[in-house]
């Protein structure tokens, strides 16, 4: 048998495979470059967007919450200071009211004593009239003296009655202001409860403030119209609290200021 020699492959086919392999490598390399560029662009635009969308809102909300907590703390401290000042004012008004009541009681005792004196003097006048029957010469003089005594006693009784009425009126006015001061204190409690987000407690305290305001109306008849208007505003404030309206704060402060204007009216400066 004769050995068959292998047929040599043409050199052109090896060169074509080499060129094809080079182009395939070049295509893959370009594909990898394009994919890498796309991933880089995606990271370049997506990371800042994600930061603005997710991280920055959280940072802003955290700063706002910290500022809100500081504001609530300051507001609670201010309201507590005002509450303490009102309590001190209530104590002062009560201290002023006690001597007025005592003075009224003393004047009532004076009126009773004056009435007893009038009765005694009446008895004396009657006895004097019996004596005047026996003493015709002194009748005219003694009758004039009796009439003068009666006139003086009547004037004294009238003066004491007017003083008693004035004292009673002042006592009623002070009691009315005390009720208004309690109303203002209740409004401050409503403000504190709203700061603590206790709307139910705030509405109950507002009802208590309305009750104190109703107590002041008969004690201050000159301010009845103004007090009735305040009562209507309190009813509207209750509706605003139930709705959770943003107008609750300004309306509550306005009500408190109007009530305090009635509790502490402006004093006219002394004339020069």
Sign of CA dihedral 167, 168, 171, 176: negative
pLDDT tens by residue, 17-65: 888 888 888 888 899 989 888 888 877 877 777 767 777 777 788 888 8
Q: Is the pLDDT of residue 1 over 50?
A: no
pLDDT recorded at residue 110: 78
The reply to whether the predicted model has a pTM over 0.85 is no
Residues 1, 10: Cα–Cα separation, whole Å: 27
Q: Higher confidence at residue 87 or residue 42?
A: 87
Token reading at 4: 């068959």
Structure tokens at 103: 């003075």
d(CA 3, CA 207): 123
- Following DSSP, what letter does each residue of 110-175 receive, concatenated? HHHHHHHHHHHHHHHHHHHHHHHHH-GGGHHHHHHHHHHHHHHHHHHHHHHHHHHHHHHHHHHHHH
Residue with tokens 């009547």: 154
Mean of pLDDT values over 188-205? 80
Report pLDDT digits (tens) over 169-179.
Answer: 677 777 778 87
């Amino acid at each position: 048998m004769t050995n068959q020699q292998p047929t040599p492959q043409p050199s052109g086919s090896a060169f074509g495979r080499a060129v094809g392999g080079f182009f395939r490598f070049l295509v893959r390399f370009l594909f990898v470059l394009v994919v890498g560029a796309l991933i880089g662009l995606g990271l370049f635009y997506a990371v800042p967007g994600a930061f603005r969308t997710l991280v920055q809102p959280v940072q802003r909300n955290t700063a706002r919450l910290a500022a809100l907590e500081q504001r609530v703390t300051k507001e609670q401290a201010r309201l507590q200071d005002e509450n303490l000042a009102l309590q001190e004012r209530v104590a002062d008004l009560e201290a002023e009211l006690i001597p007025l009541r005592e003075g009224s009681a003393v004047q009532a005792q004076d009126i009773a004593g004056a009435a007893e004196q009038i009765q005694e003097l009446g008895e004396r006048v009657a006895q004097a009239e019996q004596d005047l029957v026996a003493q015709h010469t002194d009748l005219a003089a003694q009758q004039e003296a009796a009439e003068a005594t009666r006139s003086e006693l009547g004037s004294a009784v009238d003066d004491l009655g007017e003083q008693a009425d004035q004292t009673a009126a002042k006592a009623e006015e002070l009691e009315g202001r005390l009720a208004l001061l309690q109303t203002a204190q209740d409004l401050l409690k409503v403000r504190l409860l709203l700061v603590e987000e206790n709307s139910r407690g705030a509405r109950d305290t507002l009802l208590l403030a309305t009750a104190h305001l109703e107590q002041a109306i008969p004690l201050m008849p000159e301010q009845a119209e103004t007090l009735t208007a305040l009562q209507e505003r309190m009813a509207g404030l209750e509706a605003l609290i139930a709705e959770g309206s943003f107008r609750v704060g300004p309306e509550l402060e306005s009500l408190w200021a109007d009530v305090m204007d009635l509790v502490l009216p402006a004093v006219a400066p002394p004339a020069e």
